[in-house]
Structure formats: structure tokens, C-alpha cells
Structure 1
Amino acid sequence: MTPSQIDLVQSSFAKVVPIAETAASLFYGRLFEVAPEVKPLFRGDMKEQGRKLMTTLAVVVNGLKAPDTILPAAKALAVKHVGYGVTAEHYVPVGAALIWTLEQGLGDDFTPETRDAWLAAYTLLSGVMIEEAYPKAA
């Protein structure tokens, strides 16, 4: 990721933070729409799950300028998700749901450059996570 892309991800995420609960709800609604097979993987309180999602996103977004600080936690999270039944194939609809959610939440502020920056961030992070959790799939 370029420094400009990191700045775009961080500045756009700052606009999502005030609507975090709505964003999380949009995300999971979209995820379950595009990948209904993942819904059974979520057994707990979805509001709490949404808070966890937004907290994790905040940590990742804030750590993009120093990836060595976030990658160990991301790798550990990926391995933990294997135990919940997450597969490497699930990362594609998750990324699609994330981009869609950002588009909905940011509206006109979700420019093509911002979209590209988020895609770069998600591609980088999901690639590292998939490689850690499913070394043969990567």
C-alpha cells in the first residue's frame, strides 16, 4: 500500500466511526445476503459481534502505517477463525460486503481512489490471513 492509500483508508474510516453500529449491521446484513452459508457460523449476539468487528477494523486501520504491529494479531485471528468454521473461500464475500458497506456508509466520499485503497488494504490483510490459516490454499 502506498502512503496515500493508507491516508485514504484512515480518513474514510474516521467518517465511519460515528456510524459504527449501523455500519456493522449493514455489513452483516450484506454478508448474509451474498454468502448465506456463513450465517450459521455466527451464534452469538450480533450487536456484540458488530462491536468486535468495528474494534478490530479500527485497530487494523490505525496500524496500517506500521504493519508489523498488526500482522501478528491478524494472523492469530485468522487461525482462531478456522476453529469457527471459516474457510479461505469466505474471505471473498467478506471483502465484498466490506466494500459495499463502506460505499453505503460513505456515499459520495467513497471515491474510486478510496475504493482502490480499501481493496489494497483488504487484499493485503486477507492474503496474510489466508496464508497463515490455510498455507496450502495460499
Structure 2
Amino acid sequence: MASQDQRLLKESLDLVAPVADQLIAAFYQRLFTEHPEVRSMFPAAMETQRERLLNAVIALVTHFDQPENLLPALNSMGRRHELYGVSLGHYAAVGSALLATLQEFAGAAWSPAYEAAWARAYTFAAGTMMQAGALSGVEEEEPLAA
């Protein structure tokens, strides 16, 4: 299933790659509009944050069939997010906003198979981060590398 999901993730990411920067900006706009309570958890200047998210998404897609390559960075990010006060509800809000934004930007090419693959990928990433956050013990954040 992971290799099929990775193929679907790559295909769908390729659909939106030409407008990836706009997609990430639209994701944050959607997140902050639908959940204004999370805006204060982010920096005023979002350029670096948008770049980090884009890199994390690319890494998730690139390494989804080899989760062991993702675990160190996801665990580190999960511990960091715990410090920021990120809750289960916040993870759900991010997942919902991400999938809705991907669907919006992919347009008619979006499919239920893409939706399911992204839901599984996000559930894996968020679940790993939440588990690490619950265990806490913060160390330096390790960025996801594509």
C-alpha cells in the first residue's frame, strides 16, 4: 500500500508543483480563516514557515515508502509542536486545510484515490508527531530533507 500511496502522492504533487508556493500560501490563509485561534502560534512573517512546510510535504511524498527516513525529523517536529501548545484539534485542522487546499489546486484532476493517499500520509505524519510530542524531551529540530 505504501508504494501505491507514494505513487498517488507523487502524481498529485506533480499536478500542483507549478503553483506550490501559491498552494502553501492558500493553505495558511485557509487555516487561519477557518481556525483563527492558531494564528498566534505562527510568526508574523510567514516566508520561512511556508518554505519549511513545502519542504516537509516534499519529503513526506519522497520518502513515504521508507518511513524510517522520516521518523527522526517527524519526532523532532512533534516534540517542538508540543512546546508550542499544538493539540489534537490543531493537527486535525491542519490536515483538513491541507487536503482541501490540495483538492482546490488540483481541480478536476483530483480523485478519491489522491484524497485517500494524502489522508493516510497526513495521518502517519501527524500521528508520529503527536506520539513524539506526548513523550516530549525537546532537542534541536531536524528539518525534513527531500
Query: Common fold, TM-score beyond 0.5?
Result: yes
Gaps of 5+ in 2: 136-146
Structure 1 ranges of 4+ moved more than 6 A? none
Quote the offset at 1:127 in angstroms: 1.2
Deviation at 1:58? 0.7
Does the Cα contact within 8 Å between 2:60 and 2:121 map onto a contact in 1? no
Deviation at 1:118, TM superposition (A): 0.5
1:69 aligns with 69
Equivalenced residue count is: 136
Q: Distance in 1 between matches of 2:124 and 2:84?
A: 22
Q: Tell me what 2:131 maps to.
A: 131
CA distance in structure 2 between the partners assigned to 1:103 and 1:79 by the alignment:
29
Q: Is the 8 A contact 2:27 2:98 kept in 1?
A: yes
CA root-mean-square deviation: 1.6
Deviation per CA, 1:83-110, whole angstroms, max 9, x where unpaired? 2222232100000000011011111121
User: In structure 2, what is the equivalent of residue 52 of structure 1?
Assistant: 52
| C-alpha distance in structure 2 between counterparts of 1:45 and 1:55, whole Å | 17
1:97 and 1:114 mapped to 2: Cα distance? Answer: 15
CA contact (8 A) 1:88 1:134 kept: no
Match of 1:80 in 2: 80
Unaligned runs of 5+ in 1: none
Q: Which residue of 1 aligns with 2:28?
A: 28
Asked if residue 102 in structure 1 is aligned to residue 102 in structure 2, the reply is yes
* Identity within the alignment, %: 33
- Is the CA contact (8 Å cut-off) linking 2:6 and 2:62 kept in structure 1? no
